[in-house]
Structure 1
Amino acid sequence: MTPAEIVGLLAEPDRLRVVSALVLGARTPTDVGAATGLAPREVGRALQKLQAGGLVDDRFEVRAELFKEAARSAAPVVPVEDLGYADPGVEQVVGRFVREGRLLSFPAQGPKRRMVLEHVAQSFEPGRRYPEREVDAVLRAWTDGGAADHATLRRYLVDHQLLARDAGEYWRSGGWIDVLDERD
């Protein structure tokens, strides 16, 4: 049953009231009438329509699984951001943790973390030295609204030798390495 079909069945106020009564435990047309205040004829018409539509079975039970199926089929498809990697494995891993230029969280596994850190490190121009405040500004943009903070991200980049530091300056020091074989 499609979401539109369910909405169509529930668009009539009497049918919506009948479904509500059934969901709340009414098991007979008399129980439904008592719970909804509808006349027996109105209850009968609503039940017939709901049964004919497949939302209510012959025991006057709402087929709740249809709501779940409809919700799944109506779920919006989130467009996958193309991060530009030729390797679909790297694209998938990085895409799981990075959305719209933001780092959602850090991967727990080392090789996956390395992939994500390599992606972030591309924000820094090779050969250029950055004062700490510029590094922090770039990394804050990556962590804004995410579960990670810029200081932790900076520390990971240094620990993974993707950024080097000396005398308050940072520079991009590492490059892409093949970590795909190390993934779980």
Structure 2
Amino acid sequence: MCERFFKENALITIPKKQKDKEAVFERIITLFEFNRIYNEKEINEMLGEIYPDYALIRRYLVDSNLLQRDNYGEKYQRIK
């Protein structure tokens, strides 16, 4: 369903429809392992490989409750 938003594993565009966004973010979150703590640099590098505005994607993942951020914005963990 969300494959049309990707080309060679890179996100081409962020969809406008919420349902499509959710599908895209569900695919992106699979890049991260459960029970592993990532620092911000690791997150940025991983997301930067699939989309130039990695901070935007990171924010979407946190806001969608797929990725949890500590109170200092330094450590992240996959939660779904």
- Give the equivalent residue in structure 1 for 2:4: 96
Bigger radius of gyration, 1 or 2?
1
Q: Secondary structure at the match of 1:107?
A: coil
* Residue pairs, 1:140-179, within 5 angstroms: 140-144=48-52, 149-166=53-70, 167=72, 168-174=74-80
- Give the equivalent residue in structure 2 for 1:114: 22
The alpha-carbon deviation at position 99 of structure 1 amounts to: 1.5
Query: Which runs of 5 or more structure 1 residues have no equivalent in the other structure?
Result: 1-92, 175-184
Structure (1/2) with the larger helix percentage = 1
Structure (1/2) with the larger strand percentage = 2
Deviations 1:131-172 (A, max 9, x none): 00000000000114xxxx101000000000110010410011
- Give the equivalent residue in structure 1 for 2:36: 128
Larger RCO (CA within 8 A; separation ≥ 6):
2
Computed over aligned residues only, the root mean square deviation of the Cα atoms, in angstroms, reads 0.9
Residue identity (%) = 36
Give the structure-1-normalised TM-score. 0.41
Q: Which structure 1 residue ranges, 4+ long, deviate > 6 Å from structure 2? A: none
Aligned length: 78
Query: Which runs of 5 or more structure 2 residues have no equivalent in the other structure?
Result: none
Give the structure-2-normalised TM-score. 0.92
**Cα distance in 2 for residues equivalent to 1:94 and 1:100:** 13
